[in-house]
Amino acid sequence: MTEAEAIRLAQQGDAGAFERIYRLHSRRVYALCLRMVGNPAEAEDLAQDAFLQLFRKIGTFRGESAFSTWLHRLAVNVVLMKLRKKTLPVTSLEESTDPEDEANGPRREIGGPDLLLTGSIDRVHLERAVEQLPPGYRQVFVLHDVQGFEHNEIAKLMECSIGNSKSQLHKARMRLRELLQETLRDIARQERQEAKAGETG
Amino acid sequence: MQCEQFEQLLEQRDGSELPKPALVHLESCEGCRALFADFDAIHDLAVELGAGTADPPERIWISLRNQLEAEGLIHDSQPAPPVASRAHAGWWTVFQRPAFAGSFLGLLLAAAGAAGYLSNFQQTAVQSQLTPEQETSSVPSADSVFKEEVLTVANDSNSGLQREDTAVTDSIRRNLQIVDNFIVVCEKSVREQPDNQMAREYLYGAYQQKAELLATAMNHNMTGGLQ
């Protein structure tokens, strides 16, 4: 069953078609929810909610936009609505979400003895680092770099200015860079210790 | 161009090419070159993350399907999803969080309502509508539990109206027990996560459902043993 057929049948209430659509998109929607909220239990609820809303509205889908885009926007909206209800400061991008930044300004390491990330980090490292980002940074980073939304779209979704979206993304990337460099240092330290232990052992 | 200007440029850049002054600066500044390369590395990996790596837990679909059935959005019962072959113990994890227990509980309570409703029908009418089927799936779907509840009442009704009333009473008692258990889970969730609005909503919903069950019980003149 193609996606188009599944959509047509789902609009008629066919259970198999609903499942087909779910199987096609659940991984991506769940990943989006998980990365946005950083909590598996909440991500499950949100993914379920997103699909529930999708299936309730599927009769109104007329195919003007790609189905995956439609679903994706809906999922993002579900997540953001949930976060707004939960804690307002999380999505209030007009203020910095990391108090340290307000106090100290962006951390600058330009010209410092940086460890180059290229070729040294993998997806697992990045995933862990993204989980450690403050919620506001994480949301913009996930929407822009992971999900591919443009700044003007993010600004609309998150009800902030385009400049603010850019600023949050930049800070998120800077923070990620720091976190990933820390990871690389930890790995290097561990390797040194293991080598030393090997020599003495 | 200075390093700070370069960083500002990076912040405002939106996928466009770097202007010539920035390229010149990059050639002469190792730190900014490293920053630029790191941002690229992060972006490239982030794009890979977008595809999603882990399959979502199967309980999302089970719960979603039950909800869709409860709302009448799907009409054709398909075979149970692959997870149906899992060990029987697995299904209970669905109920560890109130969000997933909601739709299931709703159906159970609908069963209680239906039990009361069915008791007013002629015995033969009930028998002709219901066909006992052996449950082949190890996962007790909501509709199978519903059917089981209704069948219990129907079977009891074979023995006469007095037995039928007993069956309805038993069914209501069982459902009250389920609601009470659900309330305990909800209260625990609310205590653990006071800010979780969803947990609160389910708790209120459970209280409301208990009140409705008690009202049904009173309509059947049930006395004693009910909380």
Lowest average pLDDT, out of A31-40, A143-152, B143-152, B201-210, goes to B143-152
> Best residue in B64, B77, B78, B197 to probe A by mutation, most A CBs within 10 Å?
B64
pLDDT for residue B63 is more than 60: yes
Nearest C-alpha neighbor of B142 from the set B90, B195, B103, B85: B103
d(CA B197, CA A36) in angstroms, rounded, equals: 18
First-to-last alpha carbon distance for chain A, in angstroms, is: 61
Name residues whose C-beta falls within 8 Å of residue B223's C-beta, 6 or more positions apart in sequence.
none
d(CA B166, CA B160) in angstroms, rounded, equals: 10
pLDDT of residue B107: 57
Nearest C-alpha neighbor of B14 from the set A154, A92, A116, A105: A154
For the stretch A124-181, pLDDT in tens is 888 889 989 998 899 999 999 988 888 988 898 888 899 999 999 999 999 999 999 8
Of residues B142 and A43, more confidently modeled? A43
d(CA B31, CA B184) in angstroms, rounded, equals: 58
For residues B4-33, average pLDDT? 86
Size of interface A-B (CB pairs under 8 A): 160
Nearest C-alpha neighbor of A135 from the set A42, A47, A65: A42
Q: What is the DSSP string of A42-111?
A: HHHHHHHHHHHHHHHHGGG--SSS-HHHHHHHHHHHHHHHHHHHH-HHHH-TTS-S-HHHHHH-S---TT
3-state SS assignment for residue A1: coil
Residue A57: Cβ within 10 Å count: 11
- Chain A residues close to B68, C-beta within 8 Å: 15, 18, 52, 55
Q: What is the mean pLDDT of chain A?
A: 81
A62 touches chain B (CB under 8 A): no
Task: Mark yes or no for CB contact B7/A110 under 8 Å.
Answer: yes
Question: A77 and A29 in contact (C-beta within 8 Å)?
Answer: no
CATH number given to A1-86: 1.10.1740.10
Q: What is the mean pLDDT of chain B?
A: 67
According to DSSP, residue B225 is labeled S
> Best residue in B11, B12, B197 to probe A by mutation, most A CBs within 10 Å?
B11
Query: Which residue in the set A13, A119, A127 is minimally distant from B75, CB to CB?
Result: A13
d(CA A151, CA A157) in angstroms, rounded, equals: 10
Task: Mark yes or no for CB contact A55/B48 under 8 Å.
Answer: no
How far does A29 lie from chain B, in Å, by closest CA?
Answer: 8
Lowest average pLDDT, out of A49-53, B35-39, B139-143, goes to B139-143
Lowest average pLDDT, out of A115-119, A190-194, B48-52, B170-174, goes to A115-119
pLDDT of residue B142: 45
d(CA B205, CA B113) in angstroms, rounded, equals: 16
Residue A76: Cβ within 10 Å count: 24
- Chain B residues close to A169, C-beta within 8 Å: 11
State the fold for domain A98-201.
Answer: Arc Repressor Mutant, subunit A (1.10.10)
Label residue B221 by pLDDT band (50, 70, 90).
low
Of residues A198 and A15, more confidently modeled? A15
Where do the domains of chain A lie?
1-86, 98-201
Q: What is the DSSP string of B67-111?
A: HHHHHT-----PPPPGGGGS-GGGGGGGGGSHHHHHHHHHHHHHH
For the stretch B161-212, pLDDT in tens is 455 567 677 777 777 787 787 788 778 777 777 777 677 777 777 777 777 7
What is the maximum span of chain B, computed from C-alpha positions, in angstroms? 96
- Chain B residues close to A87, C-beta within 8 Å: 195
pLDDT of residue A102: 45
A117 touches chain B (CB under 8 A): yes
ipTM passes above 0.95: no
Q: CA angle A105-A107-A110, nearest 5°?
A: 130
How far does B33 lie from chain A, in Å, by closest CA?
Answer: 9
User: What Cα–Cα distance (Å) separates residue B208 from each residue in B6, B52, B109, B130, B183?
Assistant: 61, 39, 11, 30, 11
According to DSSP, residue B16 is labeled P
pLDDT for residue B51 is more than 80: no
Task: Mark yes or no for CB contact A118/B41 under 8 Å.
Answer: yes
- Chain A residues close to B65, C-beta within 8 Å: 15, 18-19
d(CA B68, CA A14) in angstroms, rounded, equals: 11
Task: Mark yes or no for CB contact A31/B49 under 8 Å.
Answer: yes
Task: Mark yes or no for CB contact B41/A112 under 8 Å.
Answer: no
Greatest mean pLDDT among A118-127, A183-192, B72-81, B148-157 lies in A183-192
d(CA B70, CA B114) in angstroms, rounded, equals: 14
For residues A49-68, average pLDDT? 86
pLDDT of residue A149: 87
Q: Quote the crossing angle between the two packed helices B98-118 and B58-71, to the nearest 10°.
A: 40
Greatest mean pLDDT among A27-36, B73-82, B218-227 lies in A27-36
For the stretch A69-81, pLDDT in tens is 888 888 888 888 8
d(CA B175, CA B105) in angstroms, rounded, equals: 9
For the stretch B88-124, pLDDT in tens is 434 444 454 544 555 556 655 665 555 555 555 444 4
Label residue A51 by pLDDT band (50, 70, 90).
very high
d(CA B197, CA B181) in angstroms, rounded, equals: 20
**CA A64, chain centre distance (Å):** 26
pLDDT of residue B55: 80
Where do the domains of chain B lie?
3-49, 58-219
For residues A71-97, average pLDDT? 68
Query: Which residue in the set B43, B81, B198 is minimally distant from A45, CB to CB?
Result: B198
Q: Quote the crossing angle between the two packed helices B58-71 and A15-37, to the nearest 10°.
A: 130
pLDDT of residue B216: 72
pLDDT for residue A54 is more than 50: yes
d(CA B165, CA B101) in angstroms, rounded, equals: 28
pLDDT of residue B80: 45
Name residues whose C-beta falls within 8 Å of residue B159's C-beta, 6 or more positions apart in sequence.
none
